Amino acid sequence: MHDRAQALAAVQEAAQAFDTFNLDLMYALPGQTLDDLRQDVATALSLQPPHLSIYHLTIEPNTFFAKYPPPAVKDDTAADMLDLITAMTAQRGLQRYEVSAFARAGQACAHNLNYWRFGDYLGIGAGADPARYMAQALAGSAVAQSDEVSRADLPFEFMLNALRLADGFDLTLFTERTGLPITAIAGALDTAERQGLLQRDLQQVRPSARGFDFLNDLQSLFLPPLP
């Protein structure tokens, strides 16, 4: 309870000190019920955050949870939880503009929008390995890692990001950011539309309500073919 009180006090101080702030919540936690989640979301919303990020618990490889998995929340319950989150946030004026992000008008996260729209960015600093960073910097090369997305992977990498947005993307953005013609994803777009996972017109592509709920299924349609 002491830690909870400290956390709430910190958020209240942030709300007074900054023009905007974000809260992160997780759901589908081991043993969590709908009533537990309702209380968590109500507490978060009582702090009037302009932006709220809410993530389904994911068990990552090579972690303690992966080695000793906790009882998982059933898929139907997790779906009910997401419906509850969406309803409660909408009632308080926060719209689900990205698959895990809710915001008031004008408060969407600008730097994340750049990632989701497949924009360029630089990651500068020591990150999680200061010793390696300093050693390489002193040796004349501070670059710890540099990756270039292959041409074959570009459609999937673009769609992996852009389809996270409720408004999707303008078709011209795909060509602008990847250098590929729209024909590179035409077949997958047709399949996704037939499956009810995607909506589009001559300018815009966006996930349907079903596509948003089954985003992994939608994104996987754009994976490169196996060699």
Residues 23, 77: one domain? yes
**CATH number, domain at 95?**
3.30.750.200
Q: How far apart are CA 203 and CA 8, in angstroms?
A: 44
Buried b (16+ CB within 10 A) or exposed e, 91-112: ebebbbbbbbbbbbeebbbeeb
pLDDT tens figures, 199-227:
999 899 999 999 998 999 999 999 998 76
Q: Which of 75, 108, 141 is the last residue of a domain?
A: 108
Rounded to two decimals, the pTM is: 0.85
Give the DSSP letter of residue 203. Answer: S
Alpha-carbon radius of gyration of the chain? 20
- A 10 A CB-CB count for 51 gives 19
Partnered with residue 132 across adjacent β-strands are: none
Look at residue 80 and tell me if it is in a domain. Answer: yes
Q: How much is the average pLDDT of 109-137?
A: 86
Residues 81, 169: one domain? no
Q: How far apart are CA 210 and CA 202, in angstroms?
A: 21
Residues 23, 81: one domain? yes
Look at residue 121 and tell me if it is in a domain. Answer: no
Look at residue 214 and tell me if it is in a domain. Answer: yes
pLDDT of residue 121: 81
Residues 99, 155: one domain? no
With CA atoms as reference, report the closest residue to 14 among 42, 54, 53, 48.
Answer: 48
pLDDT tens figures, 138-179:
898 877 667 788 899 999 999 999 999 999 999 999 999 999
Q: In degrees rounded to 5, what are phi and psi of residue 13?
A: -65, -40
The domain containing residue 84 runs over which residues?
2-108
